[in-house]
Amino acid sequence: MSSEKPRKYSQKIVDGTAQAPSRSMLRAVGFGDEDFKKSQVGIASTWSMVTPCNMHINDLAVEVGKGVDSAGAKSVIYNTITISDGISMGTEGMKYSLVSREVIADSIEAVSACMGHDGIIAIGGCDKNMPGCLMGLARLNRPSIFVYGGTILPGKNHTDIVSVFEAVGGHASGDIPITQLEEIEKTAIPGPGSCGGMYTANTLASAIEALGMSLPNSSAQNAVSDSKKQDCVNAGKAISYLLEQDIKPSDIMTKKAFENAITLIITLGGSTNAVLHLIGMADTIGVELSLDDFVRIGEKTPVIADLRPSGKYLMSELIEIGGIQPLMKRLLDAGMLHGDCMTVTGKTMAENLANVADYPDGQDIILPFDKPIKKDSHLVILGGNLAPEGAVSKITGKEGLRFTGTAKVYDSEEQAFAAIIEGDVVAGDVVVIRYEGPKGGPGMREMLSPTSAIMGKGLGSDVALITDGRFSGGSRGFVVGHVCPEAYEGGPIALIENGDSITIDAETREISINLSDDVLTARKAKWKQPAPRYTRGLLAKYAKTVSSASTGAVTDKP
């Protein structure tokens, strides 16, 4: 590991008499004479005690470091931030969630570029820090690997965080006593790891593995397990080959690789947030990916995983039968994956999957292709006069495929949640939550509290919800998000009034306000853009730089 190629960046930091001050400072953090001749690998840890998703990641970073050092490179661990969607959900603090993706990408870029790291291994364990890590790695475009922190174990009685949110609605409707709500609250989160269903964290971990940016099976390991520790050591060792061969994210994160990721998350019934994040990640690496790609791939890809939130099983139970590798092998054998894509193993996807065994007989978590939960994608991209630049819905078919109802309009999540809890929302309503988009929120909050309240109230089949905000991967029901243009930009969602008729049609892929163009034009003429909710600080900066949700809500577009 002493050749110049693997030290493409670190040599500029540590070589020569002029860099004696740099070496002096590095000696203080543990470098010896021989370390200056090695490739330096930055290990970006998203450890934090603000959330169970990331509370164990410092320990995983140490394991990654062991792997790096044992393979002849020099590990350098550093931290970036994380926030908790689950803890901040339904509050003003949730506006920082999507924003944190950009902060994480910025910080990884800043630290590893500044310090001359030759390679980077990033470890993420919650929704935004995973795409944030990938975007940081893509910007640097140096040999890189992503390690998933792993999923949480089930809570008592097969509960998870969404069980708690839905119990709040159940208590409000009188179906769940306070003692039961308290019991679920105290037992649903048993320890470290990301939320347990095929919510956003597990969706994105699976997508990143399908992209080829993590080692095989990294997405399907429990957070607290020997297999996750070994995954970390293996990733540390694997970076050496990438350094030697100069295999970079741009060699791996190709258009075909993103198509593989989209195909996999559809079969898993994954989160709508994957649309936003995959488009953002692709934009960062310079790959053209759009909502049309999700439509094209979705028309021929079935949903076959019976996983929460709309299904029965948790990620830990999918892990018990083999994780996602057997599913990827099935997809490859069916001609639904591109097997020639490069991965961080230095091998192609097909080579990685060559010897993967199928699922055990009798399992009913992953269904056969000819007996799907839904014959095409649950991620339905909608157009129509309410979303001329697109919207994203998660419709498994269990909710029905068409809904027409009467608008109940709210200009914030808090207003809508209070109305649902107080009983103002009734069967036949379409709840409209607006001014929650990337610019208008700002920050595009997730609407897990309102959707869970609707489910908890027993209205899941009778009420639809549309928003220019987002949904948690745990949301379920007849829901449509990412409505573009957003209300703050004067999109049609800003023109809806109470009592308007709205139709959502998953088969024609349209969301429409049932009014004439003349009426909408007259309303638009009277509309005025509201004043920004923030004028200083991070949220204000974000609102000024963020792009539309339909283009990934990125902040570094030229």
Q: In what order do the strands lie in the sheet with 144-148?
A: 74-79, 40-45, 119-124, 144-148
E strand or H helix that includes residue 403: strand 402-410
446 is in an annotated binding site: yes
Beta pairing class for 40-45 and 119-124: parallel
Geometric angle at alpha carbon 137, from 131 and 138, rounded to 5°: 85
Which is nearest to 490 in space by CA: 458, 446, 526, 519? 526
Task: Evaluate whether 457 touches 520 at the Cβ level (below 8 Å).
Answer: no
Q: Bridge partners of 348?
A: 342
User: What is the distance between the alpha carbons of residues 376 and 396, in angstroms, rounded to a whole number?
Assistant: 9
Strands 464-467 and 429-433, how do they pair?
parallel
User: What DSSP designation does 342 have?
Assistant: B
Cα angle 14-19-20, degrees, rounded to a multiple of 5:
100
Distance CA 94, CA 27 (A): 41
The Cα 387–Cα 382 span in angstroms is: 7
Catalytic residues: 472
374 assigned binding-site residue: no
Residue pair 480/468 in contact (Cβ under 8 Å)? The answer is no
Contact indicator for 391, 427 with CB cutoff of 8 Å: no
- Residue whose C-alpha is closest to residue 340's, from 99, 332, 18: 332
Peptide bond into 485 cis (omega under 30): yes
Flag whether 347 is marked binding.
no
Rounded to an integer, what is the distance from CA 11 to the centroid of its chain?
35
Sign of CA dihedral 357, 363, 368, 374: negative
Q: By C-alpha distance, which of 216, 207, 205 is closest to 346?
A: 216
* Binding site, annotated residues for [2Fe-2S] cluster: 53
Residues of the binding site: 53, 85, 127-128, 446
Binding residues for Mg(2+): 85, 127-128, 446
